[in-house]
Amino acid sequence: MDWRWISPVRYLLNLVRGERTRHQLALGFALGIAIGLLPKGNLTAMSMTALLLGTRVNTGVGLLTALCVSCLAHQLDPLLGTVGRTILLQERWQGTFSAWYELSLVPWFGLHNTVVLGALVFGSVAFLPAYFLSGPVFAICRLDRDDRSLGKEDRS
Given a cut of 70, is residue 75 above it in pLDDT? yes
Q: Which residues contact 84 (CB under 8 A, 6 or more apart)?
A: 113, 114, 115, 116, 117, 118, 119, 121
Confidence category of residue 12, pLDDT binned at 50, 70, 90: low
pLDDT at 6: 72
Given a cut of 70, is residue 52 above it in pLDDT? yes
Given a cut of 60, is residue 149 above it in pLDDT? no
Q: What are the pLDDT digits (tens) for 82-132? A: 999 999 999 998 899 899 889 989 999 999 999 999 999 999 999 999 999
Cβ(25)–Cβ(143) under 8 Å?
yes
Q: Kindly report the pTM of this predicted structure.
A: 0.79
Q: Which residues contact 128 (CB under 8 A, 6 or more apart)?
A: 30
Q: How many CB atoms lie within 10 A of CB 5?
A: 8
Q: How many CB atoms lie within 10 A of CB 53?
A: 12
Residue 92's identity, in one-letter code, is R
